[in-house]
Amino acid sequence: MVTTGALARAKGVLLDLFREAYLRREHVALICFGGEGVQLRLAPCKAGAWNDDWVAPIGGGGGTPLVEALRRADELLAVHGGGGSEGWLWLMSDARTRELPKRPAHADAIRVLDFESGRVRLQRAQMLADAWDVPCLPCNG
């Protein structure tokens, strides 16, 4: 995602999603995953005002530990979901992995945002969305 510009697009979408959550006074969390593993970058909290400086350090590339990332997301949703609000999961990835994880059980709603780009597209994000019966939104510029 780094060399194709997809990571920059993903950061822009992330900022837009967080701005929307801020306006709605919702809670958010952020799990990042890539070649350096899976990291909880933002523990569940009320959405604040974030800017480009906040997302600049987020890296990408080097592999997609998707199963582990979704397991962590499902754990967060299990603990922090409910309370009268829906637990949404926005999966932002190029989905360049052979893993086909099962749908996170504690997510009330899921959107798969597909950042795959390049001449050869594997369409794994769409396959994942189809398997989970959720929308897949192309974000590949």
What does the pLDDT look like over 88-98, one tens digit per residue? 999 999 888 88
Q: What is the pLDDT of residue 40?
A: 95
Q: What is the pLDDT of residue 83?
A: 66
Q: What are the extents of the domains in the chain?
A: 6-138
CB 73 within 8 Å of CB 41: no
Q: What is the pLDDT of residue 63?
A: 76
* CA contacts within 13 A on the Cβ side of 90: 18
Intervals of the chain under pLDDT 70 = 1-3, 82-84, 141
CATH number attached to the domain at 6-138: 3.40.50.410
